């Protein structure tokens, strides 16, 4: 499975007349995404039928809707309309932007198959009639493996109806919006966009600006008529998959004012931002959509927010010369699954949630309403990023929105990009552009614990090369053998200097040519904060022979702060206020704290965030509502306490000066 994000973009045939959409698709591809376009054909079918002098037959359903009538004899003409009008328009529009494009009807070699719908009951001359030869169908299967290969081979793949009949009959006409949603689900797409001629779904058809901003299962249908009903159906189908879903327009994906976003059901309003941020996939290098959404969320609340040159989310309040930086990250590790809220599953989890609620100060006699509230409080959000680290970032933003910022201070939130990959692009940009007087890094510590530091990262690529020869030769030494020996010697040398370091081989590969063969490994060390990285470089290089090449990929120092800094004291006060006896952690992983520590000196830093870090990067990643709420509350109290402590320190010198005078 490719780790590059996948956009599935359904474009109506009238939108193909607007060249802007091709530039927008090219921009998506330019961000490194794979792109599958699904082209609708109403306009193209009308043009093709006009060119051949044929009338497109129609049927009137009992509810009054008019639909195309597609008996077997019409299907070749409908397919020709896509092949001769719609798909060439897509290819021409995208090729003009320098993109390689593959276009096919979905029936091509069985890329998509379907089954025939039940007979239609229609109205004719005021009487009910059953039509049995209608070649309308429903998608039954998608050849996801072949489509994956095509998506990797071309900049853009474009499919359109019809699909192949799984039972061997003539091809089947299917709704293009529903086809797009089905493809998105089958391919585990990251983003599904249904582009239409209106500004999303309109609550008032007479008002082109009356966009329904947010829709949930079952809430948008009342606003949809005609063709828009299928878009709603497709969007709700898309919610069953991994993609974030939006109906956009008019004829554009770029203007968020014209978006109707579809979301899974949320337990309560105060969990909405967490729920939605997790529903927008944002694996490393694909943070654009979640950053754009969070920037807009901030701006709607009067918070100054933007995406910076690195792609980071930057949001802030206050304009003082001193800054408290809340540094989270917007990206996740790969592989998403459908996001869902569920009741707390096991007794241990329920007990943990109940304990968190009790610590937050819930009191009063039990009632039926309390039982309902308890069920909602115990809700658990399952989804990639729910722990690492969107819960932390969202909590940062919600605290930014409602915490008073005193004069002389700036409260800044940065949602960094590429934290989960070696580049740490966003954190390096923050290090060099957003100086701060204190930093809270957004990583899961658990709502009752504070992380004071992290191990450093020492990462090497080691390549051993030997002359090619038969493995049965006298004293033959293979490249993997030579590499294995070299890795053992490097490990021994490094551990002599940093005996608390942890090491792991995280990648292996081999290659062979006529003259030589080589084996390469990525050797990863987690090193304690006091380790001397320059010394580790030296001893690693000396541990191997000349025919072994070492490339130092990363040498990031560890960081360890104390419990007596103003920031640690503020969190200690906040945790105690909630009746929590704090735990203090030194983690053996790394975070953006390490990146800042490469050049920042004397800046107090801690890491804090709700969620169980043991769930990071696992397929069981989830967070309880009570745990999230408690973490958010502690963070809010800690930020307030930090500002209060700073004000007290500012007043102390002035008071003593007054006494001296």
E-strand stretches of 456-593? 456-467, 502-512, 516-527, 548-556, 559-560, 583-587
E-strand stretches of 172-300? 191-195, 214-215, 244-248, 259-262
Neighbouring residues of 276: CB distance < 8 A, sequence distance ≥ 6 = 261, 263, 266, 293
Catalytic-role residue among 236, 244, 289, 419 = 419
Indicate the helix (H) or strand (E) that contains 153.
helix 144-153
Question: Residue 331 catalytic?
Answer: yes
CA 276 to chain centre: 10
Which tokens belong to 270?
Answer: 């105060």
CA distance 591 to 424: 9
CA distance 657 to 661: 6
Handedness of CA 374, 376, 377, 383 (dihedral sign): positive
Number of H helices, E strands in the chain: 18, 31
Catalytic-role residue among 24, 190, 316, 331 = 331
Could you tell me if 8 and 180 are in contact, meaning their C-beta atoms sit under 8 angstroms apart?
yes
Match 């933007």 to its residue by tokens.
306
Question: Residue 91 catalytic?
Answer: no
**What DSSP line would sit under 83-131, residue for residue?**
IIIIHHHHHHHHHTTT--EEEEETTGGGSEEEEEPPPEEEEETTEEEEE
CA distance 473 to 353: 64
Q: How many CA atoms lie within 13 A of 168 on its CB side?
A: 0
CA distance 82 to 659: 87
Q: Which residues pair with 112 in a beta bridge?
A: 142
Indicate the helix (H) or strand (E) that contains 356.
helix 347-359
Sheet holding 340-342, edge to edge: 340-342, 380-382, 622-624
Could you tell me if 297 and 615 are in contact, meaning their C-beta atoms sit under 8 angstroms apart?
no
Residues annotated catalytic, as ranges: 331, 419
């Amino acid at each position: 499975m490719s780790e590059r994000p996948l956009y599935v973009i359904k474009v109506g045939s009238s939108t193909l007349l607007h060249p802007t959409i091709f530039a927008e698709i090219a921009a998506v591809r330019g961000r490194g995404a794979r792109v599958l376009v699904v082209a609708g054909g109403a306009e193209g079918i009308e043009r093709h039928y006009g060119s051949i002098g044929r009338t497109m037959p129609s049927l009137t359903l009992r509810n009054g809707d008019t639909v195309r009538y597609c008996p077997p004899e019409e299907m070749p003409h409908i397919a020709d309309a896509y092949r001769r009008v719609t798909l060439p328009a897509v290819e021409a529009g995208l090729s003009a932007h320098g993109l390689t494009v593959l276009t096919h009807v979905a029936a091509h070699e069985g890329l998509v198959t379907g089954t025939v719908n039940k007979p239609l009951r229609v109205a004719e001359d005021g009487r009910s009639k059953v039509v049995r030869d209608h070649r309308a169908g429903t998608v039954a299967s998608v050849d996801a493996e072949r489509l994956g290969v095509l998506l990797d081979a071309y900049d853009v793949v474009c499919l359109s109806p019809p699909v192949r009949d799984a039972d061997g009959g003539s091809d089947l006409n299917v709704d293009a919006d529903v086809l797009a949603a089905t493809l998105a689900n089958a391919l585990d797409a990251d983003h599904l966009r249904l582009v239409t001629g209106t500004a999303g779904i309109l609550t008032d058809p007479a008002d082109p600006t009356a966009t329904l901003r947010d829709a949930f299962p079952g809430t948008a249908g009342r606003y949809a008529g005609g063709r828009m009903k299928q878009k709603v159906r497709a969007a709700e189908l898309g919610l069953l998959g991994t993609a974030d879903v939006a109906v956009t327009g008019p004829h554009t994906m770029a203007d968020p004012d014209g978006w109707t976003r579809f979301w899974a059901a949320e337990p309560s309003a105060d969990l909405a931002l967490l729920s939605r941020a997790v529903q927008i996939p944002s694996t490393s290098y694909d943070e654009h959509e979640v950053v754009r959404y969070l920037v807009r969320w901030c701006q709607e609340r009067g918070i100054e927010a933007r995406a910076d040159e690195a792609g980071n989310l930057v949001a802030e309040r206050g304009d003082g010369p001193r800054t408290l930086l809340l540094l989270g990250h917007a990206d996740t590790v790969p592989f998403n699954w459908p996001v869902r809220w569920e009741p707390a599953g096991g007794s241990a989890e329920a007990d943990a949630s109940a304990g968190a609620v009790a610590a937050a100060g819930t009191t009063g006699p039990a009632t039926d309403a309390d039982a309902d509230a308890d069920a909602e409080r115990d809700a658990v959000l399952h989804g990639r990023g729910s722990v690492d680290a969107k819960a932390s970032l969202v909590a940062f933003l919600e605290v930014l929105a409602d915490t008073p910022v005193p004069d002389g201070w700036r409260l800044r939130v940065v949602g960094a990009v590429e934290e989960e990959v070696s580049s740490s692009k966003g954190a390096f940009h923050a290090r060099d552009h957003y100086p701060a007087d204190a930093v809270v890094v957004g990583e899961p510590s658990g709502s009752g614990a504070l992380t004071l530091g992290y191990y450093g990262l020492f990462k090497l690529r080691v390549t051993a090369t030997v002359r090619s020869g038969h493995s049965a030769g006298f004293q033959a030494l293979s490249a993997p053998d030579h590499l294995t020996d070299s890795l053992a010697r490097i490990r021994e040398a490094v551990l002599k200097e940093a005996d608390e370091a942890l090491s792991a081989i995280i990648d292996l590969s081999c290659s062979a040519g006529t003259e030589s063969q080589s084996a390469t490994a990525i050797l990863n060390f987690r090193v304690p904060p006091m380790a001397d990285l320059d010394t580790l470089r030296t001893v690693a290089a000396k541990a191997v022979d000349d025919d072994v090449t070492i490339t130092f990929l990363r040498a990031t120092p560890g960081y360890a702060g104390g419990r007596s800094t103003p920031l640690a004291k503020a969190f200690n006060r906040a945790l105690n206020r909630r009746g929590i006896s704090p735990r203090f952690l030194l983690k053996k992983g790394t975070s953006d704290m390490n990146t800042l520590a490469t050049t920042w000196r004397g800046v107090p830093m801690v890491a804090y965030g709700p969620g169980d870090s043991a769930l990071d990067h696992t397929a069981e990643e989830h967070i309880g509502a009570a745990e999230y709420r408690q973490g958010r509350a502690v963070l809010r109290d800690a930020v307030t306490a930090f500002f209060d402590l700073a004000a007290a320190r500012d007043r102390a010198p002035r008071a003593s000066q007054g006494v001296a005078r």
